[in-house]
Amino acid sequence: MGTGIRYCFCMAPKEQPIIRQVFELLRRIGIPPSYLAFPVCLSLCTAVAEGASMSLLIPLLNGFLQRNFAFAKEVPVLGSIIEKLPPEVLANDRMLFAVILGGFITLFLTKNVLRYSTVLSIAYFSERALHHLRKALFTRYLSFGKLFFDRTNVGHHSTLLLEFAHLALRPVQTIDKYMNSMFSLAAYFIVMISISWRLTLVALPLFVVLHFTVRTMIVSIKKLSYGIAERGSALGKKSVEILSTIPLVKSSRMEREEQDNYTAISNGKSRMDFRARALQEMILPLQEIITITAVAIIFFGALYLFGRDRVASSSAIMVYFYIVMNASSKFGTLSGFRGTLAAATGPLSEVRRIFTEEGKFFVRGGSKHFAGIGSEIACKDLSFSYDDDRTVLQNVSFILAKGAMTAIVGPTGAGKSTLINLFMRYYDCAPKSIFVDGTDIREFTLESYLEHVALVSQETLLLHDSLRSNILYGIRREVADAELQRVLEQARLTEFVGKLTQGVDTLIGDRGVRLSGGEKQRVSIARALLKGADILILDEATSSLDSETEKLIQEAIDEAVQGRTSIVIAHRLSTIRNADKIVVVEDGSIAEEGDLETLLQNKGAFFRLWEQQKF
């Protein structure tokens, strides 16, 4: 198998632009970026309406100051529109003023309606994108092999699903402001050039200085983003780790130490968040300082041009200054979006890594339908390793006969649980190493194979739900109450359920915390019985139980294995007296196999284990 997964938050030497990475992510989750065409068109129309309303300010101010609107007929574009008005309107200055003012107000209202529509369309798009991303990530996680989760931390994945997914799509959620600013800037420059191209040449250095100032800060924010993502992941890991091991923390009296550890991680993240926020918030003040300096320069340039060449009227200069201030603000918004892109770099990198193939340890089935075991399950020279330098199983060969109970025993770390994980298809085995009736187990579909396999594990996994829901988990058919009651009786749960106020509908708490160890095991047995699988795997199902509970569960197990092909991992050797065959595993290899009597007579590896537990 491959090496372990290492989460790396360093920046790739040659990475794609962030916005392109976001668009690729959108395409991967089934949302083409072309869906943004509608809000883009709305934003473009908004900018056109805004530019047109700005251009109407000059004739409005000129006419108001001169008390005469006759000149409006000579204004390009506006004049051709005015010429189409009725003669009585053209002959009346007040009527012309009302028309121009009405046009300005209409364009202003239209601009705001269009802008609001753009915001709504982007909000809908981004929320749907976030929903699809979370769904795709969760589906992706469910497709990974168990080995992936063995090597990673659930806290990191929780943080990625809940926080990183949102931050990765943050550029999409704010892209409406970017588009509006970009199109508005284009409209402003057109109006500015139409007023005076010479003044515009004086104003252009303002935006060049703004660009390079912000660019320097963006690089710093981008570097901080990776560190923030790393600290956020560490915080999630620590939260889940400690909250899921509260009994250990309390019994060890480690509350203060764990609080200090959590505080240290949180402080580190807070400091980096503050530095990134400080850099982002610095963009606007710097922008205003640079703007006011540039406006002063433009003002002196305007006085020079106005006094020497009469390039523009006083009203045009007033509008020009107003547009420059607005353009600077829009440019600041544009720069802020670049900061948003930089801040999304780290989370986006982690989200995209989930969609890569490397280190996911997929277990993929074949195309054949598994209809049930016919004669035997055979392991032939089965080898398996978790890491390149650690072999867990080596050349393991043995046969599990249909309808028989086969016990697998051996010291801790011998490879017993690994065998179970391979039989359960949690891990992928090498080709032509496990066969069912002569067919490679990898050739069967996972759905059809696992439909015939049930597991009763030492660690019973339960959900925060009712007892009924936990027993019925994974059962895709209607289960009558009579059948459920029969299974409860077989699993020795009838008496326990009778004591519950709500019976099988009682909530059992997080991971079944309201149940004892023996009760959890019996729930697992009931689940396996209800599934009706013909292959039953019991992984140390009676370990760590008191004698009375063990006897109760052993009775349920003895009844459950009747007529089934059963594989039993046994810690207590006394529980496998009735096994048809015992396979002894030592250091990842088969030491010996046979029935109980034969192995005891051989006085080999099994005999030594038996003698150790004899007392």
Residue 2: pLDDT band (50, 70, 90) is very low
Q: How far apart are CA 304 and CA 354, in angstroms?
A: 61
390 with 307, same domain? no
Residue 363 belongs to some domain of the structure: no
Residue 365 belongs to some domain of the structure: no
Q: How far apart are CA 409 and CA 168, in angstroms?
A: 49
Token pair of 331 as six digits: 């440019």
Q: Which of residues 540 and 14 earns the better pLDDT score?
A: 540
Q: Identify the CATH number of the domain in which residue 147 sits.
A: 1.20.1560.10
Phi-psi domain of 489 (left: phi exceeds 0; alpha: psi -120 through 50; beta: other)? alpha
Q: Identify the CATH number of the domain in which residue 482 sits.
A: 3.40.50.300
- In tens, the pLDDT along 41-100 reads 998 899 888 888 877 777 777 766 666 666 666 666 666 677 777 777 666 767 777 777
466 with 583, same domain? yes
338 with 445, same domain? no
Residue 12 belongs to some domain of the structure: no
Lowest mean pLDDT among 12-21, 129-138, 153-162, 380-389: 12-21
Mean pLDDT of the 573-582 span? 84
- In tens, the pLDDT along 456-466 reads 887 888 888 89
248 with 152, same domain? yes
Residue 205: pLDDT band (50, 70, 90) is confident
Q: What is the pLDDT, as a whole number, of residue 550?
A: 65
Contact 576, 409 (CB under 8 A): yes
Q: What is the pLDDT, as a whole number, of residue 222?
A: 66
Q: Which of residues 114 and 91 earns the better pLDDT score?
A: 114
pTM: 0.75
- Residue 305 scores a pLDDT above 80: no
421 with 325, same domain? no
Q: How far apart are CA 426 and CA 418, in angstroms?
A: 9
Q: What is the pLDDT, as a whole number, of residue 393?
A: 93
Sign for the CA dihedral angle at 527, 532, 533, 538 comes to positive
Residue 255 belongs to some domain of the structure: yes
Q: What is the pLDDT, as a whole number, of residue 429?
A: 92
Token pair of 54 as six digits: 């700005």
Q: Which of residues 20 and 223 earns the better pLDDT score?
A: 20
Residue 576 belongs to some domain of the structure: yes
What's the domain count of the chain?
A: 2
Which residues are paired to 569 by β-bridges? 408, 539
- 323, 354, 385 - which closes a domain: 354
Q: How far apart are CA 291 and CA 297, in angstroms?
A: 10
User: How does 256-266 read in b/e, with b if 16+ C-beta sit within 10 Å?
Assistant: eebeeeeeebe
431 with 302, same domain? no
Q: How far apart are CA 422 and CA 386, in angstroms?
A: 12
348 with 388, same domain? no
Q: How far apart are CA 568 and CA 407, in angstroms?
A: 5
Q: Which of residues 533 and 225 earns the better pLDDT score?
A: 533
280 with 415, same domain? no
Q: What is the pLDDT, as a whole number, of residue 11?
A: 41
Residue 1: pLDDT band (50, 70, 90) is very low
Residue 367 belongs to some domain of the structure: no
Number of CB atoms found within 10 A of residue 541's CB = 28
Q: What is the pLDDT, as a whole number, of residue 4?
A: 36
Residues 6+ apart with CB under 8 A from 192: 199, 200, 203, 320, 323, 324, 327
Mean pLDDT of the 194-202 span? 76
Lowest mean pLDDT among 12-26, 107-121, 150-164, 585-599: 12-26
Q: How far apart are CA 397 and CA 148, in angstroms?
A: 27
- Residue 383 scores a pLDDT above 90: yes
Q: Please give the residue range of the domain that contains residue 142.
A: 18-354
Q: How far apart are CA 155 and CA 497, in angstroms?
A: 34
In one-letter notation, the amino acid at residue 543 is: S
Phi and psi at residue 44, in whole multiples of 5°? -65, -45
What's the Cα-to-Cα distance from 34 to each of 38, 42, 224, rounded to whole Å?
Answer: 8, 14, 31
Query: CA nearest 7: which of 164, 130, 219?
Result: 164
- In tens, the pLDDT along 150-197 reads 888 888 888 888 888 888 898 888 888 888 888 888 888 888 787 777
Q: Which strands sit side by side in the sheet containing 405-409, from one edge to the other?
A: 453-457, 535-539, 565-569, 405-409, 581-586, 589-594
Q: For the chain, give the percent of residues with pLDDT over 90.
A: 21
Mean pLDDT of the 417-422 span? 91
Q: What is the pLDDT, as a whole number, of residue 6?
A: 39
Q: What is the pLDDT, as a whole number, of residue 242?
A: 75
**Which residue is associated with the tokens 């981008």?**
222
- 292, 320, 354 - which closes a domain: 354
Token pair of 267 as six digits: 């402080």
414 with 327, same domain? no
Residues 6+ apart with CB under 8 A from 170: 340, 343, 344
Residue 140: pLDDT band (50, 70, 90) is very high
349 with 445, same domain? no
- Residue 14 scores a pLDDT above 50: no
- In tens, the pLDDT along 229-259 reads 777 777 777 777 777 667 667 666 777 888 8
Mean pLDDT, rounded, of the chain: 81
55 with 172, same domain? yes
Lowest mean pLDDT among 111-115, 388-392, 440-444, 481-485: 388-392
Phi and psi at residue 311, in whole multiples of 5°? -70, -35
Q: What is the pLDDT, as a whole number, of residue 375?
A: 93
322 with 403, same domain? no
- Residue 218 scores a pLDDT above 70: no
DSSP string, 177-205: HHHHHHHHHHHHHHHHHHH-HHHHHHHHH
Residue 442 belongs to some domain of the structure: yes
Residue 387 belongs to some domain of the structure: yes
To the nearest 10°, the Cα dihedral for 306, 311, 315, 318? -70
